[in-house]
Amino acid sequence: MPHVRPAAVAGAFYPESREQLAATVDRLLSEVPSRPGQVPKALVVPHAGYVYSGPIAATAYSRLLGTPPHFRRVVLLGPAHRVPFRGLALPDAEGLETPLGVLPVSAEGVAAAARLPQVSSSARAHAHEHSLEVQLPFLQRVLPGVPVVPLVVGSASAEQVAEVLEQLWDGDETLILISSDLSHYLPYEKARAADRETADRILALDAEHLDTEQACGAIPLTGLLLAARRRGLRVQELDLRNSGDTAGDHSRVVGYGAFAFTSPQVVL
């Protein structure tokens, strides 16, 4: 039997009932206003509980609805929250489980990533990590059956992350997904100002002036910014809100942003 990583945060970050989870994701996607846009090469999405960041994540995933079925794999990177380690970690699994079923892990993508010295395999790094898991139900609804290359990012440089992304870049058949929240536990207005500054740096592809105070996924995010700048990608801000906008409490909020990266010949 293939080894599958079981869901760790179902019932906490998102519904554990298959029917309720599918309905929740579909509702979030349906609430995004329709707007034209090029199919992205990369997306940046938040990773909090769906009640907090789900609407912002949906603005990114909605860009994949109705796209031609050309995606062959999704390269998914998110920061480590629970287990400290060096480099980037692949899972010791052939599939990732959610209440919606098992999402296959790309054996080809894993093999390509594992050729780099900063990439290792660690079941422990993946076991309880939510930054990747909360993306999976969205992927299962918008790109059903498309395998993923899941990488938890520990202590690494932006250059090391960019090298991994280049190794897995391919063409239009590969989507890159970076999981990151923005500011943490600031009062509402201070968070808005801080996240606006961070968003402007992302829009400028400024990989040199982002740190983990501004974005908890700063390491994978800056790796994408380096690679995007080298390849001349364009970036578009899709959404910028915080938990005060979605869940109501303005005293201590977490910031969320959604961004799309497209190929240089495309005008958004």
Tens of pLDDT along the chain (268 residues)?
Answer: 569 999 999 999 999 999 999 999 999 999 999 887 789 999 999 999 999 999 999 999 999 997 666 899 999 999 999 999 999 999 999 999 999 999 999 999 999 999 999 999 999 999 999 999 999 999 999 999 999 999 999 999 999 999 999 999 999 999 999 999 999 999 999 999 999 999 999 999 999 999 999 999 999 999 999 999 999 999 999 999 999 999 989 999 999 999 999 988 644 4
Residue 268 lies in a domain: no
Closest by CA position to 38, among listed 67, 76, 74: 67
Residue 197 lies in a domain: no
Q: Hey, CA dihedral for 5, 116, 182, 234, is it positive or negative?
A: negative
Residue 258 lies in a domain: yes
CB 53 within 8 A of CB 137: no
Residue 161 lies in a domain: yes
User: What gap in Å lies between CA 133 and CA 202, rounded to an integer?
Assistant: 24
Give the number of other Cβ atoms within 10 Å of residue 211's Cβ.
10
Residue 120 lies in a domain: yes
CB 253 within 8 A of CB 243: yes
Domain assignment of residue 139, given as a range: 4-31+41-183+207-262
CATH at 242: 3.40.830.10
Token pair for residue 252?
A: 């201590």
Residue 195 lies in a domain: no
User: What gap in Å lies between CA 255 and CA 138, rounded to an integer?
Assistant: 20
Give the end-to-end CA distance of the chain in Å, rounded to a whole number. 45
Angle at which helices 158-168 and 107-114 pack, to 10 degrees? 140
Across the chain, how many H-helices and E-strands are there? 10, 12
Domain count, the chain: 1
Residue 267 lies in a domain: no
Residue 153 lies in a domain: yes
User: What gap in Å lies between CA 253 and CA 47, rounded to an integer?
Assistant: 14
